[in-house]
Structures are given as C-alpha cells and as structure tokens.
Amino acid sequence: MKSLVVKDIKKTFRLSKKQRKIEQTDETKKVALRGVSFEAQPGEIFGLLGPNGAGKTTALRCIATLIKPDQGDITVDGFSAIKASSEVRKRIAFLTNEMKLEDHFTPNYLFRYFSRLHNISDEVSEMRKQALFKRFGIDKFQEVKVSDLSTGMKQKISIAISLVHDPDYIIFDEPTNGLDVLTARTVTDYLLEMRAEGKTVILSTHILNVVEKLCDRVGIIIDGEMKALDSLENVQNIASDQTLETLFFDLVKESAVEEHA
Amino acid sequence: MRNIFTVFRKEMYRVLSDMRLVLMIFLLPGISIFAMYWLIGTLIQNQTEAVQQHTIIVYEENMPADIRSSLEGLVDLERPVNMEFHSIDTLEDSDLKEKVREGDIDVVLRFDADFEAKISNYDQAEAPSLFIIYNYGRQNSSFGYNQISSVLNQYQSMKLMERLEDPSHAQIFVTDYADDIVDERQMTGQGFAMLLPFLIVIFLFAGAMSIGPDSIAGEKERNTIATLLITPIKRSEIAIGKISSLALLSFISALSSFVGLAFSLPKLMQMDTNGVEYNIYEPIHFVLILFTLMATVLIIVGLIAVISAYAKTIKEASMLIMPFYLVTMIIGLLSSFGTEPSGQLIVHFIPIYGSVNFLSSIFVFQYDFANFVAVIVSSVVYTSLFIYLLTRLFSSEKVMFQK
C-alpha cells in the first residue's frame, strides 16, 4: 500500500532557558503540532505551507523519524515511523536547511559513503552518482571539497546525496531557500520530474509561487494546526479572489485574532 | 558489521586525509614530548655541569693543614672539585653572611684557634668548635658544603681512630651484604613502573581528547549529525563505528607520544650513551601491555564519546571532559608513585586505575594472568556500557537536536 499517512500527530517541546530568552516567553513548553493529519500519494507533490514557526519543519522531522510525535503516528508504505523507523528511513529522502554535509569531504566521497550506509552496491551507486551529478551540474566539482563550493552547489550536493537510494518519498523542507534563480529552477524542475516518475514529494515552503507552480495538493499549517487541506485548486477557491496569497494571509490573520482573544 | 566499518572508515579518512590533523594528532605529540623531555634533560645536565665546574669560594679562619690539603685534593677526583681559599681576616660574621646570601662566597669555615691542639688534648680541654656559614638556597653553596662536609667527616673519623691505641679497635662490627638479592631487571622495571603507566594513560587520554569532541560534538555543532541519523543505519552501529575509530586514532596518537618519550628518556634520566635498557622485557610482556592499552583506550574513548554526544558544542564537550582528565591524572599518579602495584583481583575491575595498576605490575614483573583477564573483561563491560549510553544519546532527540 504505497502512501504516506500522517495521522493526528501532536508534538510539544520543552523550552530551554536559552530558547525562552530568544522567544521572549516565560512558558516552559511550546506546542508545535496540535493534531496534524494529511496524506500524500504516489505521483503527487504535496505542499505544506505556513509562516515561520508554524510547525512545518517539526511535522517533516517527525515523518523523517528524527523526532517522535508525542501522539499520533506516521506510516510510510504501512511502516510506522515510531515502531519501524529504520524501514521508513529506507524509503524516504529528507532535506532541510538545518542538515549540512561535512565540509572536509568531496561530493564523490560523500555520495559513496551515504550509498554504503543505504546498503547500495558500488556499481549501482556509481551509476546513480553519474546521473545525479550530471543532472545537477556537480560532475565538474565532484573532487572539490564541500567547504570550497558555493551555497547553491552545496544545496545541490545535499539534494543529490539525499537521493542516493532512489527513494519513493521525497521530503524537502524549503529546498530553494537561499538559492539563486537558476539553481532554484534546477531543483523545482527536478521535483516535477520526480512526480512524473511516480514518486511522492512533500514540499514545505513559505514561497507561494513555488506552491502554485508545483503542488497538486496543499496543506496550510498555522500555529501547529492544519487550517486548510485540499487540492491546490480547491484551496485557492476558498479565497475571495481565488488566490493562495489572499487565503494564506486571511488564515494567518484569523489565527492571530483567535490567539489574541 | 558493514555499516560499522563504513562509519569507521569515514572517521579514519576524515583524520588521515587532513594533513593538519595528521600533524596535530600523530606527529606533534611525539615531537613535542621528545623536545620537551630532551630539553628538560639537557637543562638538568647543564645545571649539574655548571655546579660541578664552578670554583667553590671558601673563606676560612684557622683551617687545619690536614683539612686544607684534603679539600685541595678534591681537584684530583674523576669529577674534579675546584676550591679557592681566602682568609676571613677582618670580615665580620654579618658581612660574611651577607656575601654568602648574595652568592659572592659559597662557604665560610671559622675554626677555633688551636683547633688541632684542642683535638689532641681532648682529655684536658673542651672540644673545639667549627662555625660554618653556607646557603642551602644556592646550588653552588650547597654543593660546596656537601663536599666540605664529607671531608670533615673523614677527618673526624681519622682523629677518632688516632685516639685509640689500636686503630682496629675503632671497628665495632663488620657489615656484609648479600650481593645476589637484587634483580637488575626488577630494579630497572621499577623505574619504568614509576614513570610510564602514568604517562601512557595521560597520552591516551590526551590523544582521545584531541579528536573525540570534534567527531561527535563537532557533528552536532556543524549540523551534520542529522544527515547521518536519517540513514537506515542503527544508532548502535554509529556508536560502535565512532568509538572503534576514535580508539584506533587515539592509540596511534598515544604511540607517537610514547616514541617521543622513548627517545628522550635516556636524556631525561641522565643516563650514559648506552641509553635505557628496554630489552629487559620479553614478547609476552609487550603483548600484555598492548592488550591492556587497547582495553584502556576503549574505556577512555567511550567516556569521551558519551560526554561529547551529550555536549552541544566542541567547547562544552572539552569543558566537561576536563574534570575526568584531571581524575585520570590523579589515578595515574596514585598508581605510579604510590606503593607497589596491588595484586588484588578486585582492584583490576576499577576502570583506568586497574589498567594503570596492571601496567605497573607488568613493568616490575609481578603480574598475574587472572588480573589481566579482570582488566580485559571489565574494560569490555565498561565499553559496552558506554556504547549503550552513546546509542541512547544518539536516539534522544532532546540531546541530538535541542539548541
């Protein structure tokens, strides 16, 4: 049963003194997710939209098994992210801005290293490496240390390495953040190719243009709650002027009023 | 197993492919230890030679001719002692004391007038006195006094014998020592036991400290740990891969320090050109030392790995490791400079202390195989515990990701 199902996940973080200071709050806990549910099917790009701090990254980290939800579950191809995390990790690619590659190594070495960790034979790894490196224009830099490469090139290497095992589920958190127009285009084009290949792509972003261009279905998450969840077209129809931007701002405003009340 | 080896190989490659790290971890410890101990040895040697070559300035009054001639005769010894004699004349004690304090005079000897006559008429007159001024805070003065003191003792013994009608009566009893008791190997081994276990454990700890925090806390600080944790590899495999690679790297680093020490030891211990006798040990001893070191390095690396995984940054990890480093130094000191190595089995179950104690017992040839087994078994248990803890820490989202 090929699908990724997020079912009623809740997550609360205990805030450290440092975090309380940064967030200027006396609260010792922060509720990041308040029962979020959604599904993503093969051959679709699901966009998770929301302002900064809404809980998008937390939801994706739960799916990626980096953190565990306090309540609810996530299943990938029927495997629970809590009980069978290793099986889930075999099936997903996960990329977030907080994840970095070790600067000291070359893209070539890192690709081989992560291939081995994914139990991929050297022959298959080499073939995939050549294809991905060529696709992202890394082939010329494959023996250059990551530390000597530009931000855009590092991001492309991160994407290529996250795909070493040819996963069916691609979960990218703000993949075009900080990239120039050309590099961003390479990334978005690749995601469209992945969809065409029947992969499931979950994309978190706050760039509405990217969502409108790429996503088949959209979930808008604000303050840890899923405020809207439907196809892009249906979500756009909710807004008075039928734009995602208007709906997004309305929902953010509405949420702020509720919080204030 | 394949995954463990992959992590192991990557950690090794990270260090071995970086010339700066190779220099810092493998070459610099050996070179700096050699340079440091060689310099200390050279300075001690220079200082000793400077004192021996110094002409001792002696101010005297009424010095008996016999004593004067004995002191002048010191110049003919294998290591000649030069003395320059001056008469006190009109100098007051206060002036003399000031000059001795300043180092202008090394020793002052003020003998009673008729010193020898009084000695000869011992049954009719009071014993003559000798007033000495020297400064034990100054090496030249102290060395001069020691030379003079031994001549005075000889002079006193000679005069005592003269008082007896038959000089042989001065001999109360004859002391004879058995000369086949001392085991030369054990004596040399005691020297090693005092110095080496302490230094070895320090080298192992320092080696592990220089790479451990960067390998684990560094990955957290640089946000590269999540990239590793997102792979299907088990957390326990990461823990074993990290600990085993760090153990090997620390071991090589300690070996570098040890080679530096071995080359500088003859200079440090002021030995002759034949150097230090390392060949008193047999292959079995080296095998035991090797296994004990491997067991010890696993405990040390395990401890450092757990602390590094708990810490948020390399700086915090280094800070948290420091108290354990100090405790390890104290353990090394206790074992090396305390009493003889303990043969008690229970002692060998104490982490690090047991290893240091067993190393000492190998060096003095007093080891027991049961204790060796205790060291190895306990190290395996402690290392397993550290691997378990490290696995738990790698699985803890709070420890891994909370900033």
Same domain, B38 and B63: no
Shortest Cα distance from B9 to chain A (angstroms)? 9
Is residue B344 within 8 angstroms of chain A, CB to CB?
no
Task: Provide the 10 A C-beta neighbour count for residue B84.
Answer: 10
- Note whether residue B133 is domain-resident: yes
Same domain, B132 and B90: yes
SS3 content of chain A, % helix, strand, coil (to 5): 45, 25, 35
Same domain, B162 and B193: no
pLDDT of residue B109: 92
Could you give the CA distance from residue A41 to residue A170 in angstroms, rounded to a whole number? Answer: 12
Is residue B392 within 8 angstroms of chain A, CB to CB?
no
Contacts of B234 in chain A (CB under 8 A): 86
Shortest Cα distance from A110 to chain B (angstroms)? 9
Contacts of A162 in chain B (CB under 8 A): 230
- Note whether residue B212 is domain-resident: yes
pLDDT of residue A68: 92
Instruction: Identify the CA nearest to B371 among candidates B342, B348, B352, B341.
Output: B348
Nearest to B226 among A66, A117, A119 (CB): A66
3-class DSSP state for residue A197? coil
Which CATH number goes with the domain that contains B96?
Answer: 3.40.190
Q: What is the pLDDT of residues B317-360, one digit of tens each?
A: 999 999 999 998 888 887 766 667 888 899 899 999 899 889 88
Q: What is the pLDDT of residues B288-297, one digit of tens each?
A: 988 998 899 9
- Note whether residue B58 is domain-resident: yes
Is residue A84 within 8 angstroms of chain B, CB to CB?
no
Same domain, B149 and B294: no
pLDDT tens by residue, chain B, 403 residues: 888 999 999 999 988 888 888 888 888 888 888 888 888 888 888 888 888 888 999 999 999 988 999 988 888 887 788 899 998 887 788 888 999 999 899 999 999 888 888 888 877 778 899 999 999 999 889 999 999 999 999 998 888 888 877 777 777 788 888 777 777 777 777 777 887 888 888 888 888 898 889 989 999 998 898 899 999 999 999 999 999 999 999 888 888 888 887 788 777 766 554 556 666 778 888 889 889 988 999 999 999 999 999 999 999 999 999 999 999 888 888 776 666 788 889 989 999 989 988 988 888 888 889 999 999 999 999 999 999 999 999 999 888 887 6
Interchain proximity A64–B230, CB inside 8 Å: yes
Same domain, B154 and B240: no
User: How, if at all, do strands B56-61 and B107-111 pair?
Assistant: parallel
- Note whether residue B334 is domain-resident: yes
Domain that holds residue B315: 2-44+188-400
Strand intervals (E) in B6-128: 56-61, 83-87, 107-111
Last residue of a domain, one of B127, B144, B170: B170
Helices (H), B164-234: 184-221, 225-229
Interchain proximity A66–B230, CB inside 8 Å: yes
Q: What is the pLDDT of residues A213-254, one digit of tens each?
A: 889 999 989 889 898 888 888 877 776 666 777 777 777 777
Same domain, B195 and B330: yes
Is residue B175 within 8 angstroms of chain A, CB to CB?
no
Shortest Cα distance from A166 to chain B (angstroms)? 13
Instruction: Identify the CA nearest to B210 among candidates B7, B4, B26.
Output: B26
Instruction: Identify the CA nearest to B341 among candidates B322, B359, B315, B328.
Output: B359
- Note whether residue B177 is domain-resident: no
Same domain, B211 and B147: no
Is residue B20 within 8 angstroms of chain A, CB to CB?
no
Q: What are the tokens at B242?
A: 């990290």
Number of domains in chain B: 2
Same domain, B141 and B269: no
Interchain proximity A104–B6, CB inside 8 Å: no
Q: What angle do CA B395, B398, B400 make, to 5 degrees?
A: 60
- Note whether residue B182 is domain-resident: no
Same domain, B11 and B140: no
Based on the number of CB atoms within 10 Å of its own CB, is B156 exposed (0-12), middle (13-18) or buried (19 or more)? exposed
- Note whether residue B179 is domain-resident: no
Same domain, B139 and B200: no
Is residue A217 within 8 angstroms of chain B, CB to CB?
no
Shortest Cα distance from B40 to chain A (angstroms)? 38
ipTM value for the complex:
0.87
Same domain, B36 and B78: no
Interchain proximity A16–B402, CB inside 8 Å: yes
Same domain, B157 and B193: no
Q: Determine which of A90, A117, A143 to mutate to test the interface with B (most B C-beta atoms within 10 Å).
A: A117
Shortest Cα distance from B299 to chain A (angstroms)? 27
pLDDT tens by residue, chain A, 261 residues: 678 999 999 999 888 787 788 777 888 888 889 999 999 999 999 999 888 888 899 999 999 999 999 999 999 999 999 999 999 999 999 998 888 888 889 999 999 999 999 999 999 999 999 999 998 888 889 899 999 998 888 888 999 999 999 999 999 998 888 788 888 888 899 999 999 999 999 999 878 888 888 899 999 898 898 988 888 888 777 766 667 777 777 777 777 776 666
Shortest Cα distance from A104 to chain B (angstroms)? 7
The partner residues of A229 in beta bridges, in order of sequence, read A219
Contacts of A86 in chain B (CB under 8 A): 232, 234
CA distances from A44 to A39, A196, B394 (A): 11, 8, 33
Within 231-250 of B, beta carbons closer than 8 Å to A belong to 231-234
Q: Determine which of B230, B234, B236, B316 to mutate to test the interface with A (most A C-beta atoms within 10 Å).
A: B230
Instruction: Identify the CA nearest to B51 among candidates B142, B136, B135, B151.
Output: B142
